[in-house]
A and B are shown apart, each in its own frame.
Chain A
Amino acid sequence: MSKKDAAVELRNITKTFGSVVANENVNLEIYKGEILALLGENGSGKTTLMNMLSGIYFPDSGEISIDGEPVVIKNPRDAFRLGIGMVHQHFKLIDVLTATENIILGLDGKLNIKEATAKIREICDKYGFEVDPNQKIYDMSVSQKQTVEIVKVLFRGAEILILDEPTAVLTPQETEKLFKVLRAMRDDGKAIVIITHKMHEVESLSDRVAVLRHGEYIGDMETKETNAQEMTNMMVGHAVTLNIERPEPVDPKPRIVVKNLTVKNEEGIVKLDDVSFTANSGEILGIAGISGCGQKELLEAIAGLQKAETGSIEYIRSDGSVESLIGKDPLEIADMGVTLSFVPEDRLGMGLVGNMDLADNMMLRSFRRGKSMFTDRKAPAKLAKSVVEELDVVTPNISTPVRRLSGGNVQKILVGREISSSPKVLLTAYAVRGLDINSSYTIYDLINRQKKKGVAVVFVGEDLDVLLQISDRILVLCGGKVSGIVDGRTADKNQVGLMMTKVGGEKNE
């Protein structure tokens, strides 16, 4: 390792947010011509650490050196000047501006769109990106937006590139393409850091791995000398099993039957196009697809939150009688005696109210009960207590606002409430996004327990490995159409990946 030049050296970096210690005494080197994978669970401080390098946060204490020279990075501008560029997990792009305008944002000098556009084309040609510089961001797909972010960093001549979970929203094919570009940049002599928690990506891409846990630096190693199990153990701090349980379905019977469902969003764009499928009781139906391909609309249509243009959604009761759910709102669906639970993607913006305490959040669904004009606060408080106990929620007490809990605990509260009504149907969207490994397994376990109880589970996921491990069947969406339904036990990851980008999945480009 001593042969390489250190591009960045971090010494004793500490950063706290209020009482939360995000990083403590972290020491880390980043070398030129190397891809470093920064590993760690959610909440382990990877992003915070890199944000200090890119000037978003300022460390409480510690030193940063670039090319051996100690530097002070007060703001993003300092970071650019030092050749540091970061692609954030949540894209830092302005929707109503074009790609070019976004790329040149924050630079000095006279505004010359034409010249900038030419330079962007040049960069795109060099690395094989496909971007229309004059396209508005709101018209772009997720992977296009990411490309814009990467071009933005290159446009500024970054020598040190930081990517925060860049593959979370990409298909396997897009991921491979991105990796190819990253390898080319490494061979160009750039220093690259990729933040991730996906083991197979670390293995296939990186040269070296550094691990953070609870804000502390644990250690680093050459990628070829380690393996997924060892890295995971380092991340979590103790040995973990990486297998998700998949019990056999119990007596599967059709529960939700969707036929020829077409849905348009507010702008009149077709988000679901002629979708038909059946979700069985006692079975997990996984939904795969590039993000924004209609997953959200599909779940919301079933839950009564999305108007359908055409088609039908039927609920089949245990006694065989059929109810139509189309055109009904959530209240009407509940009044029909259909217990349908929904764990939405946006936990604090939809599933829960961040500023309300645990008990008040528990009664979101049940507050109407009873004829009284006033709400009953005792039952929800009791439910909150039992959820906290059963799911090991870490919270000072049940009158703490949900917003102040960590992501994993927020999700436990949400899932806990949703399954407390003993649902017949459970819809989940990105149920483990942003959770640490332990919480993720708690959630998988909860979902599997529902399945064993005979609940029809619809599981929208983004990590194909997880989907392939947990689902009995997988429905693949592509641009709002059903690309195919495959068996979770026999499906092949690449095949599913292809189906995500092309209806049917055949390769004939």
Chain B
Amino acid sequence: MIDLVTFIPRAIGQGIPLLYGCTGEILTEKSGNLNLGIPGVMYVGAISGVIGSFLYENSVGAGNPLNGFLAIMIPMVCSLIGSLIMGLIYCFLTVTLRANQNVTGLAMTTFGVGFGNFFGGSLIKLSGADVPSVALTRTSNFFSVSLPFAKNLGWFGKIFLSYGFLAYLGIVVALIAGYMLKHTRVGLHLRAVGEGPSTADAAGISVSKYKYVATCIGCMIAGLGGLYYVMDYACGVWSNDAFGDRGWLAIALVIFTIWSPNIAIFASILFGGLYIVYLYIPSGIDHMELKELYKMIPYVVTLVVLVITSMRDKKENQPPASLGLSYFREER
């Protein structure tokens, strides 16, 4: 039997990066941009934060204590800037230069993952560690600090209060994004841009501006998912390729959540659970190979979900009508 009190916190921990990625991609897709570069963006977001905190830790020196505010702000700002630059590259190519979104996204992923692993590898070399990873434990301690009384509340504290602030921020960001899309003028305009750019344009909405802003903010949110993964979930340990394919799962989740950040909160935790469920299925010491099959579960479930969502064909559940297309006003 799965021990829920240990399982749920781990599932949530796995789910938060997905949630960041998913929320970011929802905003991006609502503007009509299908950003397949999210996996790369999340790598860049993570490594930028790692670089920032690495430099900060080294400048402070091994013996001296870190300033809590700086220890959090430096990696966060670095991460946001890194993913913002990725967003700007994507927008410049697809919005300003109207390039094919799929190809641009894939190139971003190649670049971003390479960027992450390159600088990750360089830092590992610089730190001179004998394991292939960089440990930023001191910074991580600030990221993973949870409420002091959480430990006294038993299972309740463990399930709901045992996370670092980025986990809660992820949920808050998703809620804000959900509210923004549904109840504000900016949200209405954003939806209009994704559904019918020429209509939005004729209504005086600056299509390029919305696409740029939504995509860049989306990238920054996604980048925070990468940061959360290293600093909190992985306890500040960066090793190359450890982040894996979470970025792709986040993109797939968008369809599952029918473009709703609120649903994304639950969906990402569910998928976080699926991601680690293989650890909880007993396979016996003689059949370690079965573990590899269990690791397939999140992908199989995603595939099944994709097929099921495509079977029920409802007008409101469709992707933004202009998703994947670039807009040119004087198209004739």
Contact = CB atoms under 8 A, between A and B. Distances in A.
A–B contact, 8 Å CB criterion (strictly below): yes
B329 interface: yes
Given A106-B204, A111-B188, A92 B199 contact: yes
A93 B329 contact: no
B316 A77 contact: no
B315 A76 contact: no
B203 A105 contact: yes
Nearest to A91: B199
Interface stretch (B64-72, B95-103, B190-198, B239-247): B190-198
Given A95-B321, A96-B315, A97-B192, A106 B200 contact: yes
Contacts of A96: 191, 195, 315-316, 318, 321
A54 interface: yes
B203 A97 contact: no
A97 B200 CA distance: 12
Contacts, number: 75
A108 interface: yes
A444 interface: no
A111 B315 contact: no
B188 A93 contact: no
Contacts of A94: 191-192, 195-196, 199-200
Interface residues of A, number: 30
A352 to B, nearest CB: 17
B202 interface: yes
A95 B330 contact: no
Contacts of B321: 95-96
A57 interface: yes
B278 to A, nearest CB: 39
Nearest to A105: B203
A374 interface: no
A108 B185 contact: yes
Contact of A105 (B192, B206, B313, B330): B192
Interface string A173-194: 0000000000000000000000
Contacts of B199: 92-94, 105
Contact of A92 (B184, B198, B206): B198
Contacts of B184: 111
A17 B205 CA distance: 23
Contact of B185 (A54, A55, A109): A109
| Chain A contact residues, majority secondary structure | loop
Contacts of B206: 75
Interface in B176-218: 183-185, 188-189, 191-192, 195-196, 198-206
A76 B196 contact: no
B191 A97 contact: yes
A356 to B, nearest CB: 19
B332 interface: yes
B330 A17 contact: yes
Interface in A76-134: 76-77, 79-80, 86, 88, 92-97, 101, 104-111
Among B183, B198, B199, B315, the one with the most A-chain Cβ atoms within 10 Å of its Cβ is B199
Contacts of B196: 92-95
B183 to A, nearest CB: 7
B329 A56 contact: yes
Nearest to A86: B202
A138 interface: yes
Nearest to A15: B330
Contacts of B200: 94, 105-106
Contacts of A110: 185
Contacts of A56: 201-202, 329
B60 to A, nearest CB: 46
- Which of A57, A94, A108 has most B Cβ within 10 Å? A94
A120 to B, nearest CB: 15
Contact of B202 (A17, A76, A95, A104): A76
Max chain A Cβ within 10 angstroms of own Cβ: one of B192, B195, B206? B192
B181 to A, nearest CB: 12
A138 to B, nearest CB: 6
B195 A75 contact: no
The winner among B196, B199, B204 for most chain A CB atoms within 10 A is B204
B332 A17 contact: yes
A206 to B, nearest CB: 25
Contact of A80 (B198, B204, B316, B329): B204
Contact of B204 (A57, A75, A97, A266): A75
B203 A92 contact: yes
A105 B329 contact: no
A57 B205 contact: no
Contact of A111 (B185, B198, B316): B185
A106 B189 contact: yes
B202 A54 contact: yes
Contacts of A57: 329-330
Contacts of B185: 104, 107-111
Contacts of A138: 315
Interface string B289-332: 00000000000000000000000010110100100000001101
A76 B204 contact: yes
Contacts of B198: 92
Contacts of A109: 185
Interface string B8-50: 0000000000000000000000000000000000000000000
Which of A55, A57, A105, A138 has the most B CB atoms < 10 Å from its CB? A105
B315 A92 contact: no
A395 B193 CA distance: 36
Interface of B: 183-185, 188-189, 191-192, 195-196, 198-206, 313, 315-316, 318, 321, 329-330, 332
Given A56-B201, A77-B204, A94-B199, 11 more contacts: A17-B330, A75-B201, A93-B196, A95-B195, A97-B191, A104-B188, A105-B188, A106-B203, A106-B204, A111-B183, A138-B315
25 contacts: A17-B330, A54-B202, A56-B329, A57-B330, A75-B204, A76-B203, A92-B199, A92-B203, A94-B192, A94-B196, A95-B196, A95-B321, A96-B191, A96-B195, A96-B315, A96-B316, A96-B318, A97-B192, A104-B188, A105-B188, A105-B189, A105-B205, A111-B183, A111-B188, A136-B315
Interface of A: 17, 54-57, 75-77, 79-80, 86, 88, 92-97, 101, 104-111, 136, 138, 266
The 9 closest A-B pairs by CB, nearest first: A106-B203, A77-B204, A106-B204, A92-B199, A76-B204, A105-B203, A111-B185, A92-B202, A94-B195
